[in-house]
Amino acid sequence: MSSLIQNCIIKKNTTNVPIWIMRQAGRYLPEFRKIRKENPDFIELCLNKNLTPQITLQPLKRFDLDAAIIFSDILMLPYALNQKVEFKKGIGPILGDLEIEKLSDINEKEFYNKLKPVYEAINIVSKDKMLKNKDMIGFVGAPWTILVYMVYKKSPKEVKNINDLLFNKIKKDKIDILISIIVKFLKMHIKNQVDNGATIIQIFDSWAGLVNGDFAMDNYIYKPTYELVDYAKKLGVPIICFPRGTKKYKEYCKIVKPDVISIDYEIDPVVIAKEIDIPIQGGLDPKILLSDKDKLKKEVIKYLEIFKNHSYIFNLGHGIMPNTEPDMLDYLVKLVKDFK
Protein backbone atom coordinates (compact mmCIF):
# COMPACT_ATOMS: atom_id res chain seq x y z
CA MET A 1 0.00 0.00 0.00
CA SER A 2 1.42 3.39 -1.01
CA SER A 3 1.20 6.46 1.21
CA LEU A 4 -1.61 9.00 1.09
CA ILE A 5 0.84 11.70 0.03
CA GLN A 6 2.24 9.62 -2.83
CA ASN A 7 -1.31 8.80 -3.95
CA CYS A 8 -2.08 12.50 -3.94
CA ILE A 9 1.04 13.48 -5.88
CA ILE A 10 1.39 10.61 -8.33
CA LYS A 11 -2.17 9.32 -8.76
CA LYS A 12 -3.79 12.75 -8.22
CA ASN A 13 -6.12 11.18 -5.63
CA THR A 14 -8.58 13.65 -4.11
CA THR A 15 -10.56 11.27 -1.87
CA ASN A 16 -8.46 11.41 1.30
CA VAL A 17 -6.51 14.57 2.11
CA PRO A 18 -3.06 13.82 3.58
CA ILE A 19 -1.55 16.10 6.21
CA TRP A 20 1.84 16.97 7.62
CA ILE A 21 2.97 20.23 9.18
CA MET A 22 6.03 22.34 8.47
CA ARG A 23 8.27 22.35 11.57
CA GLN A 24 6.11 19.62 13.10
CA ALA A 25 9.22 18.21 14.80
CA GLY A 26 10.35 20.71 17.36
CA ARG A 27 9.70 23.86 19.24
CA TYR A 28 5.98 23.69 20.19
CA LEU A 29 6.22 20.21 21.79
CA PRO A 30 7.08 20.02 25.51
CA GLU A 31 9.00 16.78 24.97
CA PHE A 32 11.19 18.57 22.43
CA ARG A 33 11.74 21.59 24.68
CA LYS A 34 13.04 19.27 27.37
CA ILE A 35 15.64 17.87 24.96
CA ARG A 36 16.47 21.35 23.67
CA LYS A 37 17.09 22.65 27.16
CA GLU A 38 19.70 19.95 27.66
CA ASN A 39 21.23 20.58 24.22
CA PRO A 40 21.68 24.34 23.77
CA ASP A 41 23.82 24.10 20.60
CA PHE A 42 21.26 23.79 17.79
CA ILE A 43 23.70 22.66 15.11
CA GLU A 44 25.11 19.98 17.39
CA LEU A 45 21.57 18.81 18.13
CA CYS A 46 20.86 18.49 14.39
CA LEU A 47 24.02 16.36 14.16
CA ASN A 48 23.06 14.09 17.06
CA LYS A 49 22.14 10.87 15.28
CA ASN A 50 20.60 9.47 18.47
CA LEU A 51 18.39 12.42 19.41
CA THR A 52 17.46 13.56 15.89
CA PRO A 53 15.43 10.42 15.05
CA GLN A 54 13.70 10.66 18.42
CA ILE A 55 12.75 14.31 17.79
CA THR A 56 11.64 13.54 14.22
CA LEU A 57 9.23 10.87 15.44
CA GLN A 58 7.81 12.80 18.41
CA PRO A 59 4.90 14.37 16.47
CA LEU A 60 3.94 11.03 14.91
CA LYS A 61 3.52 9.60 18.39
CA ARG A 62 0.99 12.32 19.17
CA PHE A 63 -0.81 12.99 15.89
CA ASP A 64 -2.10 11.01 12.91
CA LEU A 65 0.26 12.69 10.44
CA ASP A 66 1.09 11.20 7.06
CA ALA A 67 4.81 11.91 7.02
CA ALA A 68 7.85 12.50 9.14
CA ILE A 69 10.18 15.35 8.18
CA ILE A 70 13.73 15.08 9.40
CA PHE A 71 14.61 17.40 12.28
CA SER A 72 17.31 19.50 10.66
CA ASP A 73 17.80 22.96 9.14
CA ILE A 74 18.42 24.46 5.71
CA LEU A 75 21.55 26.11 7.16
CA MET A 76 23.26 22.76 7.53
CA LEU A 77 24.40 23.46 3.96
CA PRO A 78 26.56 26.52 4.74
CA TYR A 79 27.74 24.71 7.87
CA ALA A 80 28.96 21.83 5.70
CA LEU A 81 30.70 24.41 3.47
CA ASN A 82 32.73 25.51 6.50
CA GLN A 83 30.86 28.75 7.17
CA LYS A 84 30.25 29.24 10.86
CA VAL A 85 26.55 28.92 11.77
CA GLU A 86 25.06 29.51 15.19
CA PHE A 87 21.57 30.20 16.49
CA LYS A 88 21.07 32.89 19.12
CA LYS A 89 17.91 32.97 21.20
CA GLY A 90 15.65 35.85 20.22
CA ILE A 91 17.81 36.69 17.21
CA GLY A 92 17.92 33.63 14.98
CA PRO A 93 20.78 32.38 12.83
CA ILE A 94 24.10 34.20 12.77
CA LEU A 95 26.64 33.16 10.14
CA GLY A 96 30.36 33.79 10.01
CA ASP A 97 32.41 35.43 7.28
CA LEU A 98 32.10 33.95 3.81
CA GLU A 99 35.24 33.02 1.89
CA ILE A 100 34.00 32.18 -1.61
CA GLU A 101 37.49 31.34 -2.88
CA LYS A 102 37.78 28.45 -0.43
CA LEU A 103 34.43 26.87 -1.27
CA SER A 104 35.75 25.25 -4.44
CA ASP A 105 38.33 23.37 -2.38
CA ILE A 106 35.67 21.43 -0.48
CA ASN A 107 35.26 17.94 -1.89
CA GLU A 108 32.31 15.58 -1.82
CA LYS A 109 33.77 13.33 0.87
CA GLU A 110 34.48 16.23 3.23
CA PHE A 111 30.96 17.57 2.68
CA TYR A 112 29.40 14.14 3.26
CA ASN A 113 31.34 13.55 6.47
CA LYS A 114 30.18 16.84 8.00
CA LEU A 115 26.54 15.92 7.40
CA LYS A 116 26.84 12.17 7.87
CA PRO A 117 24.84 12.19 11.15
CA VAL A 118 21.91 13.80 9.31
CA TYR A 119 21.89 11.03 6.72
CA GLU A 120 22.25 8.36 9.39
CA ALA A 121 19.26 9.85 11.23
CA ILE A 122 17.15 9.76 8.06
CA ASN A 123 18.13 6.14 7.58
CA ILE A 124 17.07 5.26 11.13
CA VAL A 125 13.72 7.06 10.91
CA SER A 126 12.90 5.67 7.45
CA LYS A 127 13.11 2.12 8.84
CA ASP A 128 10.97 2.81 11.91
CA LYS A 129 7.67 0.92 12.10
CA MET A 130 5.83 4.21 12.67
CA LEU A 131 6.53 5.11 9.05
CA LYS A 132 4.61 2.18 7.59
CA ASN A 133 2.60 3.64 4.68
CA LYS A 134 3.93 7.10 5.56
CA ASP A 135 6.60 9.25 3.92
CA MET A 136 10.04 10.29 5.05
CA ILE A 137 10.52 13.88 3.97
CA GLY A 138 14.00 15.27 3.45
CA PHE A 139 14.60 18.90 2.56
CA VAL A 140 16.98 21.60 1.41
CA GLY A 141 16.93 25.36 1.16
CA ALA A 142 16.56 26.77 -2.35
CA PRO A 143 19.75 28.23 -3.90
CA TRP A 144 18.47 31.80 -3.54
CA THR A 145 17.61 31.48 0.15
CA ILE A 146 20.92 29.76 0.94
CA LEU A 147 22.73 32.55 -0.94
CA VAL A 148 20.90 35.19 1.09
CA TYR A 149 21.95 33.66 4.41
CA MET A 150 25.55 33.03 3.33
CA VAL A 151 26.05 36.61 2.10
CA TYR A 152 23.84 38.58 4.48
CA LYS A 153 24.89 36.34 7.43
CA LYS A 154 21.58 36.64 9.27
CA SER A 155 17.83 36.60 8.68
CA PRO A 156 16.81 39.38 6.22
CA LYS A 157 13.49 39.98 8.00
CA GLU A 158 13.80 43.77 7.84
CA VAL A 159 15.20 43.94 4.31
CA LYS A 160 12.97 45.40 1.60
CA ASN A 161 15.55 46.21 -1.08
CA ILE A 162 17.51 43.51 -2.90
CA ASN A 163 20.42 45.91 -3.42
CA ASP A 164 20.76 46.46 0.33
CA LEU A 165 20.53 42.72 0.82
CA LEU A 166 23.19 41.56 -1.60
CA PHE A 167 24.72 43.90 -4.13
CA ASN A 168 26.26 46.23 -1.58
CA LYS A 169 27.99 43.21 -0.04
CA ILE A 170 29.07 41.11 -3.03
CA LYS A 171 29.86 41.78 -6.68
CA LYS A 172 27.29 40.51 -9.16
CA ASP A 173 29.75 38.21 -10.93
CA LYS A 174 30.54 36.55 -7.61
CA ILE A 175 26.83 35.84 -7.09
CA ASP A 176 26.79 33.60 -10.18
CA ILE A 177 29.85 31.72 -8.91
CA LEU A 178 28.33 31.29 -5.46
CA ILE A 179 24.98 30.07 -6.81
CA SER A 180 26.72 27.44 -8.96
CA ILE A 181 28.64 26.17 -5.92
CA ILE A 182 25.49 26.13 -3.80
CA VAL A 183 23.59 24.18 -6.48
CA LYS A 184 26.41 21.65 -6.74
CA PHE A 185 26.35 20.87 -3.03
CA LEU A 186 22.58 21.01 -2.72
CA LYS A 187 22.42 18.23 -5.31
CA MET A 188 24.77 16.16 -3.14
CA HIS A 189 22.67 16.93 -0.08
CA ILE A 190 19.48 15.83 -1.86
CA LYS A 191 21.06 12.63 -3.18
CA ASN A 192 22.47 11.68 0.22
CA GLN A 193 19.04 12.11 1.81
CA VAL A 194 17.32 10.05 -0.88
CA ASP A 195 20.01 7.35 -0.67
CA ASN A 196 19.26 7.05 3.04
CA GLY A 197 15.50 6.73 2.82
CA ALA A 198 13.92 10.10 2.04
CA THR A 199 10.86 9.43 -0.15
CA ILE A 200 10.02 13.10 -0.79
CA ILE A 201 12.19 16.22 -0.96
CA GLN A 202 10.88 19.69 -0.14
CA ILE A 203 12.75 22.78 -1.32
CA PHE A 204 12.25 25.77 0.97
CA ASP A 205 12.73 29.16 -0.68
CA SER A 206 12.01 31.15 2.44
CA TRP A 207 13.05 34.51 0.94
CA ALA A 208 11.66 34.16 -2.58
CA GLY A 209 9.40 37.10 -1.81
CA LEU A 210 12.39 39.47 -1.82
CA VAL A 211 12.99 38.89 -5.53
CA ASN A 212 11.19 40.80 -8.28
CA GLY A 213 11.89 41.68 -11.87
CA ASP A 214 12.34 39.23 -14.73
CA PHE A 215 16.15 39.09 -14.64
CA ALA A 216 16.36 38.42 -10.90
CA MET A 217 13.49 35.91 -10.91
CA ASP A 218 15.01 34.03 -13.83
CA ASN A 219 18.60 33.92 -12.58
CA TYR A 220 18.15 33.67 -8.82
CA ILE A 221 14.89 31.73 -8.47
CA TYR A 222 13.74 29.89 -11.60
CA LYS A 223 16.92 28.56 -13.23
CA PRO A 224 18.81 27.32 -10.15
CA THR A 225 15.69 25.84 -8.54
CA TYR A 226 14.67 24.10 -11.78
CA GLU A 227 18.15 22.55 -11.91
CA LEU A 228 17.58 21.06 -8.45
CA VAL A 229 14.04 19.90 -9.25
CA ASP A 230 15.13 18.24 -12.48
CA TYR A 231 18.02 16.52 -10.70
CA ALA A 232 15.85 15.27 -7.83
CA LYS A 233 13.17 13.96 -10.18
CA LYS A 234 15.80 11.79 -11.86
CA LEU A 235 16.45 10.22 -8.45
CA GLY A 236 12.85 9.01 -8.50
CA VAL A 237 11.33 11.05 -5.67
CA PRO A 238 8.56 13.68 -5.79
CA ILE A 239 9.61 17.29 -5.24
CA ILE A 240 7.63 19.89 -3.31
CA CYS A 241 8.64 23.54 -3.75
CA PHE A 242 7.75 26.32 -1.32
CA PRO A 243 8.63 29.77 -2.77
CA ARG A 244 7.32 31.72 0.20
CA GLY A 245 6.21 35.27 -0.47
CA THR A 246 6.32 35.19 -4.24
CA LYS A 247 3.36 36.57 -6.15
CA LYS A 248 4.18 34.48 -9.22
CA TYR A 249 3.08 30.96 -8.28
CA LYS A 250 1.60 30.23 -11.71
CA GLU A 251 4.75 31.29 -13.55
CA TYR A 252 6.92 29.50 -10.99
CA CYS A 253 5.10 26.19 -11.57
CA LYS A 254 5.33 26.57 -15.34
CA ILE A 255 9.10 27.16 -15.31
CA VAL A 256 10.39 25.22 -12.27
CA LYS A 257 8.03 22.25 -12.77
CA PRO A 258 7.75 20.92 -9.20
CA ASP A 259 5.53 17.91 -8.50
CA VAL A 260 3.75 19.90 -5.77
CA ILE A 261 3.60 23.63 -5.06
CA SER A 262 3.35 24.68 -1.41
CA ILE A 263 1.62 28.03 -0.89
CA ASP A 264 1.99 30.62 1.84
CA TYR A 265 -0.86 32.17 3.82
CA GLU A 266 -0.74 35.54 2.07
CA ILE A 267 -1.88 34.18 -1.29
CA ASP A 268 -5.54 33.74 -2.23
CA PRO A 269 -6.24 29.98 -2.30
CA VAL A 270 -9.24 30.48 -4.63
CA VAL A 271 -6.95 32.00 -7.27
CA ILE A 272 -4.41 29.22 -6.80
CA ALA A 273 -7.09 26.53 -7.24
CA LYS A 274 -8.15 28.10 -10.53
CA GLU A 275 -4.70 28.83 -11.94
CA ILE A 276 -2.61 25.79 -10.96
CA ASP A 277 -3.30 22.23 -12.02
CA ILE A 278 -0.52 20.37 -10.19
CA PRO A 279 -1.02 19.15 -6.60
CA ILE A 280 -1.09 21.96 -4.04
CA GLN A 281 0.06 21.99 -0.43
CA GLY A 282 -0.45 24.30 2.51
CA GLY A 283 -1.88 27.78 2.88
CA LEU A 284 -3.33 27.92 6.39
CA ASP A 285 -2.02 30.82 8.48
CA PRO A 286 -0.10 29.33 11.45
CA LYS A 287 -1.51 32.09 13.68
CA ILE A 288 -4.98 30.49 13.37
CA LEU A 289 -3.67 27.74 15.65
CA LEU A 290 -3.24 30.40 18.34
CA SER A 291 -6.94 31.34 18.26
CA ASP A 292 -9.79 29.03 19.28
CA LYS A 293 -11.24 25.82 17.87
CA ASP A 294 -14.23 27.50 16.24
CA LYS A 295 -12.03 29.86 14.22
CA LEU A 296 -9.62 27.04 13.44
CA LYS A 297 -12.42 24.79 12.19
CA LYS A 298 -13.80 27.55 9.98
CA GLU A 299 -10.44 28.18 8.32
CA VAL A 300 -9.56 24.50 7.93
CA ILE A 301 -12.89 23.70 6.29
CA LYS A 302 -12.45 26.72 4.00
CA TYR A 303 -9.19 25.31 2.59
CA LEU A 304 -10.59 21.78 2.36
CA GLU A 305 -13.65 23.01 0.44
CA ILE A 306 -11.61 25.20 -1.92
CA PHE A 307 -9.37 22.28 -2.86
CA LYS A 308 -12.03 19.58 -2.62
CA ASN A 309 -11.69 18.63 -6.29
CA HIS A 310 -7.96 19.30 -6.47
CA SER A 311 -5.04 17.09 -5.39
CA TYR A 312 -4.23 18.72 -2.06
CA ILE A 313 -1.88 18.10 0.87
CA PHE A 314 -2.98 19.91 4.00
CA ASN A 315 -0.25 21.98 5.62
CA LEU A 316 0.37 25.45 6.97
CA GLY A 317 1.48 28.47 4.95
CA HIS A 318 4.65 28.61 7.08
CA GLY A 319 6.12 26.73 10.04
CA ILE A 320 4.06 26.02 13.14
CA MET A 321 4.60 28.71 15.78
CA PRO A 322 6.47 27.92 19.03
CA ASN A 323 3.57 28.95 21.29
CA THR A 324 1.07 26.63 19.59
CA GLU A 325 -0.77 24.30 21.95
CA PRO A 326 -0.34 20.65 20.86
CA ASP A 327 -4.05 20.14 21.54
CA MET A 328 -4.86 22.61 18.75
CA LEU A 329 -2.74 20.69 16.28
CA ASP A 330 -4.41 17.47 17.35
CA TYR A 331 -7.79 19.07 16.66
CA LEU A 332 -6.58 20.29 13.26
CA VAL A 333 -5.36 16.84 12.22
CA LYS A 334 -8.66 15.25 13.24
CA LEU A 335 -10.62 17.85 11.27
CA VAL A 336 -8.66 16.99 8.14
CA LYS A 337 -8.94 13.24 8.68
CA ASP A 338 -12.71 13.43 9.28
CA PHE A 339 -13.43 15.65 6.26
CA LYS A 340 -15.57 14.07 3.57
Supply the CATH number for residue 163's domain: 3.20.20.210
Predicted pLDDT at 173: 77
CB 260, CB 9: distance < 8 Å:
yes
pLDDT of residue 207: 93
**Segment-wise mean pLDDT, segments of 10 residues, the chain, 340 residues:** 90 92 97 96 96 98 98 98 92 91 90 98 97 97 96 84 66 87 98 98 95 90 98 97 96 98 97 97 98 98 97 98 98 96
- Can you give the three-state secondary structure of the chain, one letter per residue? CCCHHHHHHHCCCCCCCCECCCCCCCCCCHHHHHHHHHCCCHHHHHCCCCHHHHHHHHHHHHCCCCEEECCCCCCHHHHHCCCCEEEECCCEEEECCCCHHHHCCCCHHHHHHHHHHHHHHHHHHHCCHHHCCCEEEEEEECHHHHHHHHHHCECCCCCCCHHHHHHCCCCHHHHHHHHHHHHHHHHHHHHHHHHCCCCEEEEECCCHHHCCCHHHHHHHHHHHHHHHHHHHHHCCCCEEEECCCCCCHHHHHHHHCCCEEEECCCCCHHHHHHHCCCCEEECECHHHHHCCHHHHHHHHHHHHHHCCCCCEEECECCCCCCCCCHHHHHHHHHHHHHCC
Predicted pLDDT of residue 253: 98
Q: Specify the number of domains making up the chain.
A: 1
Instruction: Please report the pLDDT score of residue 183 as a whole number.
Output: 98
Residue 159's pLDDT is 75
pLDDT value of position 241: 98
- Give the per-residue pLDDT at 168: 64
Residue 234 sits in which domain range? 4-338
Q: Are the beta carbons of 147 and 177 closer than 8 angstroms?
A: no
Supply the pLDDT for residue 163.
63
